């Protein structure tokens, strides 16, 4: 997950950290604070993702989070699968604990949503011109039969009043425990890009691609995925940039 001092800034202000943590070879952090995942729709569909790339003859492990959106499809952030991965593994959870079986997957598609224009006076210091939003879909080698996919939002302009995020992270060579946190939207663009603040929690590198969901009378739906975190000190921050799923997905599987 990108950690940026000012949103989309190429030259961070003095004292602000600019770090890119999408390819950590050591322990990756997950949500700080928040709460352990339970047995709800978000926890049942959330996954940890590990990919292997080989840049310059050196193997590198990328660690991220995602969510099941169809029996054989997982949504995550595209920067989690940069570099044409040699392989990808997907792990589900039972509550906050990882569980078997482990699924193999490949990259099916990548998307770069339009950041749009911020609503007037919503975030006057935000420049969206340099902000990179990304989404990717992984296709599992076999469909999941004991998990219910979460549908996607249909309209990127209808910003929910409250959101929740799930993040797994990984620790050493193993999968971390799944945690969740409540997010409050503080600004949004006309295409659904959302800046949200975590309540009583901070979002970290291992949460990149983490599902951000909302609730309506019909149940839980995916608003988007965590694409970046704003922080003065890497690797965690309280403000999250959410790439909107509804902008690039429409029709079947949305609501």
pLDDT in tens, 29-70: 678 889 999 999 999 999 999 888 776 666 666 789 999 999
Nearest CA to 83 among 108, 98, 62?
Answer: 62
Give domain status of residue 249, yes or no. no
Q: Residue 136: inside a domain, yes or no?
A: yes
Asked if residue 252 is part of any domain, the answer here is no
Q: pLDDT value at position 22?
A: 30
- As for how many domains the chain has, the answer is 1
DSSP 151: P
**Distance of alpha carbon 59 from alpha carbon 47, whole angstroms:** 22
Q: Assess if residue 156 is contained within a domain.
A: yes
Residue 97: which residues within 8 A CB-CB, separation 6 or more? 177, 178
**pLDDT the model gives residue 12:** 30
CA dihedral 159, 254, 51, 115 (to 10 degrees): -40
Is it the case that residue 201 has pLDDT exceeding 50? Answer: yes
Q: What is the CATH number of the domain that holds 90?
A: 2.40.10.120
Q: Is 43 a member of any domain?
A: yes
Q: Is residue 152 part of a domain?
A: yes
The band of 235, judged by pLDDT with boundaries at 50, 70 and 90, is confident
Q: Establish if 253 belongs to a structural domain.
A: no
Classify residue 170: in a domain, yes or no: yes
Which residue range(s) make up the domain with 220? Answer: 2-244
Ranges 2-6, 125-129, 183-187, 229-233: which has the least confidence = 2-6
Does this model's pTM top 0.75? My answer is yes
């Amino acid at each position: 997950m990108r950690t940026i001092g000012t949103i989309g800034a190429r030259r961070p202000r003095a004292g602000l950290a600019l770090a890119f943590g999408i390819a950590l070879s050591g322990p990756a952090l997950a949500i700080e604070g928040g709460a352990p995942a339970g047995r709800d729709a978000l926890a049942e569909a959330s996954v940890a993702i590990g990919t292997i790339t080989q840049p310059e003859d050196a193997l590198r492990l990328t660690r991220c989070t995602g969510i099941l959106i169809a029996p054989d499809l997982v949504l995550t952030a595209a920067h989690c699968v940069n570099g044409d991965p040699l392989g990808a593994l997907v792990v589900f959870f039972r509550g906050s604990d990882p569980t078997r079986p482990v699924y193999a997957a490949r990259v099916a598609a990548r998307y770069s949503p339009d950041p749009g224009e911020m609503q007037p006076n919503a975030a006057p210091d935000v420049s969206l011109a340099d902000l990179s939003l990304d989404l990717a879909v992984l296709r599992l080698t076999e469909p999941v039969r004991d998990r219910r996919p979460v549908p996607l939002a249909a309209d990127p302009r209808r910003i929910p009043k409250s959101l929740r995020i799930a993040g797994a992270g990984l620790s050493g060579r193993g999968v971390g425990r799944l945690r969740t946190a409540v997010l409050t939207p503080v600004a949004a663009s006309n295409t659904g890009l959302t800046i949200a603040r975590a309540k009583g929690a901070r979002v970290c590198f291992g949460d990149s691609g983490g599902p951000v969901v909302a609730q309506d009378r019909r149940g839980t739906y995916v608003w988007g995925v965590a694409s970046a975190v704003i922080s003065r000190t890497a690797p965690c921050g309280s403000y999250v940039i959410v790439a909107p799923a509804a902008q690039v997905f429409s029709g079947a599987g949305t609501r």
